[in-house]
Structure 1
Amino acid sequence: MIHFSHTGPLKAGFRETTEKNKTLRMKKIMYSLGLLLVSLYAAGQSNATLTIQQNNTGLTISRHIYGHFSEHLGRCIYGGFWVDPSLPVKKQDRIRLDVVEALRKIKIPNLRWPGGCFADEYHWRDGIGPREQRPKMVNTHWGGVTEDNSFGTHEFLELCSLLDCEPYISANVGSGTVEEMSKWVEYLNFNGESPMSKIRKQNGREQPWNVHFWGVGNESWGCGGNMTAAYYAGEYRRYATFAKNYPGAPLKKIAGGANSGDYSWTETCMKNIPLNQMWGLSLHYYTVPGTWGKKGSATAFDEQEYFTTMKKCLHMEELVSRHSAIMDHYDPEKKVALAVDEWGIWTDVEPGTNPGFLYQQNSLRDALIAATTLNIFNNHCDRVRLANLAQIVNVLQSLILTDKEKMLLTPTYHVFDLYKVHQDAKLLPVLLNSPDYSVGKEKIPAVNASASVDSNNVIHVTLVNLDAHKNIDVSTMISNLPWKTVEGQVLTADKFAAINTFDAPNTVQPAKFSGAKKNGANLSVSLPPHSVVLLELK
């Protein structure tokens, strides 16, 4: 008990005021003690509660959230998809088919090309016609290597056909012209008689491809021209005006949006670009474990660096929420998509590799980043309707790594394999109360999740436990959604830095999960440390 005392004579009014002050002080102390108890409880909490609600919103998780990115950078195109004719692997033309088959398995919905920064120095006419006649160029952004343009428009669209995915083309605004972009659209999408369709037919393609997704410039605030937001908005309006809709090919034009937390860029674009001129507005954000000068190793990191990386990954929630709020002000009907068309972890390159090739290994940590980010996108599918992980093969957070004829699937690949069940499924909103994962004086929520129901009324729940040490039990209530059985898969390893190598390609791969049980109408789940879990409820 806390006692208050005073001495000396008191007037009646002063005594009354003092008594009120004592009461107020007591209330403040009790309130502070209450907050302390709550804080101590939360710090010791090792269980989570999850409520999965019915879809009363009508929201669908667009498959295009699960898109990917292929730039003329390092060994993504050359040595990844497009290989030397003498390489002893199965090929169609020079397209590597074991890579294609692996990506078809996870149903990639779209592929962004040719960049990235490369897009704003790429001139599409250099990449059509007989390959031996195509001019060479210098890739000034990525390693200063010579680009022979043997992989161009026709080759990319053939790759998309083999992958059974939609192409997403980023057009050159930085060093290109309105006419150049306009004629590229005509070359790809016009089915009548015109100068561009005539050239297309001469190059062996009779019918148009009908490409819908078009990026109007890339990172125009930086490598795409170092423009101001206001200047870019004006340029966008001009370029977009002459990017025409042809029969059967209405364009989904995507404006070059903000770098990370540049909210003023988003506001300027939303304020100055008519909503009917753009399908989407992009956002780029990379999870960098250290600083841009010293990003950190892809494989050699301790728990503090692991924790910091996951904290930076979770920043995507704030970015999406705040950019969406600005877009809501100008577009309350949510007609314009937020297209997060570059995201992922960016570390230092592997020792001994070309620093301009951005080749990095891929660990369980990266898989947890992918799963967490996809959960965030799923839960914001009202606004996020397209996203592209950077990048698909041999660059940054790759799904696939190759070394001559060898190929391996990274931990991140397995996340996309598990999460493909969410594509075009109906969102089931979740309410999650998570314990904290603490390192030193910092803490983050240990668990994140998303859920959906598919066209066969099968419920899928994806859960991530970021805690490096603790099993976390999740008590799950599923509101008015009938189900009888639960099955699951888990992706984890002994260490959060575990990787797949060409000598040991299956160190990190999904396994059957037996930690979920039906408990009456509810579900009990025990999540292992640093794990991704997919549950299927029927």
Structure 2
Amino acid sequence: MGQPGARRDARLAPHPVTDHPHPQKERATVSTPTTTAIIDLDLPGPTISRHVYGHFAEHLGRCIYGGFWVGEDSDIPNERGLRSDVVDALRAIRIPNLRWPGGCFADDYHWRDGIGPRDQRPRMVNSHWGDVVEDNSFGTHEFMDLCEMLGADPYISGNVGSGTVQEMSEWVEYLTRGDDSPMAALRRANGRYEPWKVPFWGLGNEAWGCGGNMRVETFSALARQYATYARNHGGNELYRIAAGADTADYHWTETLMRSFGDLAADPAAPVAPFQALSLHYYTMSGDWADKGSATEFTVDEWYTTLARAHRMHELLTRHSTVMDRYDPHRKVGLVVDEWGTWWNVEPGTNPGFLYQQNTLRDALVASVHFDAFHAHADRVVMTNIAQTVNVLQAMILTDPDSGALVLTPTYHVFEMNTGHHDADALAVHLRDVPTLTAAGRELPLVSASASTTGDTALISLSNLDAESGRTVLLDLRGRHVIGHSARILGAEGLGAHNTPDRPSDVAPRAHDGVRPSERGLEVDLPAHSYVTVALELA
């Protein structure tokens, strides 16, 4: 990762004509064409935090420069250097928070290099991502301005790997203190009089890897120390998030949980010194040496990818079980602040820029993840997809030549799910779900979740079957349904995606395949599709 390569601008990949062979696969015998989803509309569960729909922006490739930031002199419409159409598109999906400046970049980043007049800021080498020179023209003030435009809460990832306790402590003071302290005075000298609100603070990133290659015992002690000096100033209260495990490293989670002491003794006692742990997990069809193509893939690779995405259910269950041993009242949050697909970069682009296309397959990876996050709403307090613009599983792709903006299929899943923000989760009990075996794992071919707010409910349904449609009977109990509407995201080809020339090949539309039944509603799910059903309740 991050090796130097030919420095070329990432292009939006053209629409390929892909032939999908039909490999051998293990399929369970399907005894009925209908799957039943039992939902008790009158039994709301834990709240699904809107922050589960969070985002991530790193100084990587064209995410910041050419994505969010075009500069005040750009011909592309912008407000104070921030690209207007990107801001508008993200506001439309109610982006709740944005993580910055990394990622691996965060533990090389020294915040004082990114304040003051832009033409006087020192330069640095971004050794992790493309080996390019970073001019620090996008720094603290620009990021906070972006968050205010988006209406999003900032989530800042502090430097533990190469920074100091004092450096992090002073950054918090610079951002959030309102009196005449030294850092508050420096902020005012740089043009911002009032302090900002910063709710989320990361204590390092991937401390087991690019954030220091530490053993968890070492990092656990450091996290306690850094958290102590990342202070609350005035009315700003930090929610401190310690760099947590990679995938299935349950020992890392257990060691961090031990550092809290006895959380079971007093359920009302505040959690300190930090309030949450993170978890990182990426989905691919291959391995780290050859992750697979974003657009050219077989049906076998389709199922392998979705089976690995479905693994998120297992990871959340097991990490939560470890956390429950030390925190039975679930006061400590779990933050999945890096997740999503990771493919080989598009041909001809800088391998360190991690630019990839985004297909219908990526959209269903997202929907499966959200079903897992909703099911664990009592522990999962926030997640951040990697990344927002032009990097990995992006919401938005921008063309460096034409300036065109493309909304990806993943963007549309986020938009279709806005009704789940801060809603109460509803348990969905699925029956007669077809399965297959892929990547050594059993993959249910129907995935679902639901939530309710007041007199409305939203049900999300995914058909992961590449070849066959399915009917889902919504067995709706406990409340009277007086109205419904549905939308569908789908396409003819598995590798369908959007480009500047064809921006709406994968876009939501009204779905008329919903019918009343004795027990609720019947919903048609075409092959490889995603459907949301909105209910009006009495």
| TM-score normalised according to structure 2 size | 0.91
Match of 1:197 in 2: 184
SS of residue in 1 equivalent to 2:313: helix
Question: Is residue 417 of structure 1 aligned with residue 404 of structure 2?
Answer: no
3-state SS of 1:68 partner: strand
8 Å contact from structure 1 (residues 55, 429) kept in 2: no
Q: 1:186-225 to 2 correspondence within 5 Å? A: 186-225=173-212
- Structure 2, unmatched stretches of 5+, are 1-25, 262-270
- Please name the residue that 1:15 is paired with: none
Residues 77-106 of structure 1, C-alpha deviation per residue, up to 9 Å, x if partnerless? 001000144432210111000000000000
Higher relative contact order (CA 8 A, sep 6+): 2
Counterpart pick for 1:49 among 36, 47, 71 = 36
Q: Is the 8 A contact 1:304 1:439 kept in 2?
A: no
Alignment match, 1:476: 474
Is the alpha carbon distance of 1:285 and 1:518 closer, same or farther for their aligned partners in structure 2, counting shifts above 3 Å?
same
Paired position in structure 2 for 1:182? 169
Name the CA distance, whole Å, in 1 between partners of 2:71 and 2:120.
18
State, as a whole percentage, how many aligned pairs show the same letter.
52
Distance across 1 between alignment mates of 2:211 and 2:366: 26
C-alpha separation between the residues in 2 aligned to 1:387 and 1:55? 27
Note if contact 1:437-1:467 (Cα within 8 Å) is conserved in structure 2: no
Of the three residues 66, 70, 75, the one matched with 1:79 is 66
Offset at residue 54 of structure 1 (A): 3.8
2:231 maps to which residue? 244
CA distance 1:442–1:194, shift in 2 (3 Å)? closer
Q: Hey, what does 1:365 align to over in structure 2?
A: 361
From the superposition, tell whether residues 470 and 40 of structure 1 become closer, same or farther in structure 2 (CA, over 3 Å).
closer
Query: Partner residue of 2:342?
Result: 346
Question: Which of residues 120, 127, 133 in structure 1 aligns to 2:114?
Answer: 127
Deviation at 1:496, TM superposition (A): 1.3
Cα distance in 1 between the residues matched to 2:224 and 2:260: 7
| Residue-by-residue CA offset, 1:133-155 (whole Å, 9 max, x unaligned) | 10000001001100000000000
Check whether the contact 1:394–1:402 (CA below 8 A) recurs between aligned residues. Answer: yes
Q: Following superposition of structure 1 onto structure 2, how do residues 1-400 of structure 1 map, counting pairs within 5 Å? A: 42-54=29-41, 56=43, 58-274=45-261, 275-400=271-396
Per-residue deviation, residues 185-221 of structure 1 (Å, max 9, x unmatched):
0001111111000000000101100211000000000
- Greater C-alpha radius of gyration: 1
**CA separation in 2, counterparts of 1:57 and 1:225?**
42
2: distance between equivalents of 1:80 and 1:482? 46
For 1:329, the aligned partner's letter is R
In the alignment, the residues of structure 2 paired with residue 388 and residue 40 of structure 1 have an alpha-carbon distance, to the nearest angstrom, of 33
Correspondence for 1:29: none
Structure 1 range deviating more: 150-159 or 57-66: 57-66
Cα distance in structure 1, aligned partners of 2:90 and 2:56: 12
Structure 1 distance, partners of 2:294, 2:431, is 31
SS of the equivalent of 1:338 reads strand
Between the aligned partners of 1:303 and 1:44, the Cα distance in structure 2 is 23
Moved more, 395-404 or 518-527: 518-527
Say which is worse superposed, 370-379 or 386-395, in terms of deviation.
370-379
Contact 1:120–1:174 (Cα < 8 Å) also in 2? yes
Give yes or no for contact 2:27–2:436 (8 Å, CA) kept in 1: no
Q: Deviations over 1:482-508 (max 9, x none)?
A: 211211000000011101011111100
3-state SS of paired residue (1:50): strand
Aligned residue for 1:446?
Answer: 445
Q: Which moved more, 1:508-517 or 1:39-48?
A: 39-48
- 1:150 aligned counterpart, secondary structure: coil
Partner Cα distance (1:417, 1:434) in 2? 29
Change (3 A) 1:40 1:528: closer
Alpha carbons 2:101, 2:157 under 8 Å: kept:
yes
Give the match for residue 19 of structure 2: none
Q: 2:426 aligns with which of 419, 425, 428?
A: 428
What is the rounded CA distance, in whole Å, between the counterparts of 1:510 and 1:130 in structure 2?
44
Q: Which amino acid aligns with 2:520?
A: N
Distance 2:139 2:303 in 1: 41
Give me the whole-angstrom Cα distance separating, in 1, the residues matched to 2:229 and 2:69: 32
Whether the 8 Å CA contact 1:62–1:423 is kept in 2: the answer is yes
**RMSD (Å) for aligned C-alpha atoms:** 1.6
Aligned AA for 2:452?
V
Task: State the distance in 2 between where 1:145 and 1:375 align.
Answer: 38
What is the deviation of 1:438? 3.2
- Partners of 1:53 and 1:479 within 8 A in 2: yes
Aligned residues, how many?
499
Match of 2:500 among 502, 511, 534: 502
Aligned AA for 2:139? Answer: G
Residues 358 and 40 of structure 1, relative CA distance in 2, 3 Å threshold: closer
DSSP 3-state at the match of 2:155: strand
Partner of 1:28: none
Once the two structures are overlaid, the 10-residue window that deviates more, 459-468 or 50-59, is: 50-59
Aligned pair partner of 2:491 in 490, 493, 497: 493
User: In 2, are the aligned partners of 1:237 and 1:273 still within 8 Å (CA)?
Assistant: no
* TM-score, length-scaled by structure 1: 0.91
Q: Distance in 2 between matches of 1:40 and 1:183?
A: 58
CA contact (8 A) 2:29 2:434 kept: yes
SS at match of 1:277: coil
* Contact residue 256 and residue 282 of structure 1 kept, 8 A: yes
8 A contact 1:167–1:211 mirrored in 2: yes
In 1, the alpha carbon distance for the partners of 2:283 and 2:66 equals 26
Q: What is the aligned partner in structure 1 of residue 404 from structure 2?
A: 406
Shift of 1:426: 1.0
Equivalent AA in structure 2 for residue 477 of structure 1: D
Is 1:523–2:510 an aligned residue pair? Answer: no
Report the Cα distance in structure 1 between the residues aligned to 2:520 and 2:280, rounded to whole angstroms.
Answer: 39
Asked if structure 1 preserves the Cα contact closer than 8 Å seen for 2:241 and 2:277, the reply is yes
CA shift digits 1:34-85 (9 cap, x unpaired): xxxxx99854443211111245464110000000000000000001000144
Counterpart-to-counterpart distance in 2, 1:359 and 1:41 = 37
SS at structure 2 position matched to 1:369? helix
Partners of 1:350 and 1:437 in 2: how far apart?
32
Give CA-to-partner distance per residue, 1:311-366, whole Å, 9 cap, x none: 10000000000000111111111111110000000000000000000000000000
Are the counterparts in 2 of residues 55 and 426 from structure 1 also a CA contact under 8 Å? no
Q: Counterpart of 2:447 in 1: which secondary structure?
A: strand
Letter in 2 for 1:426: D
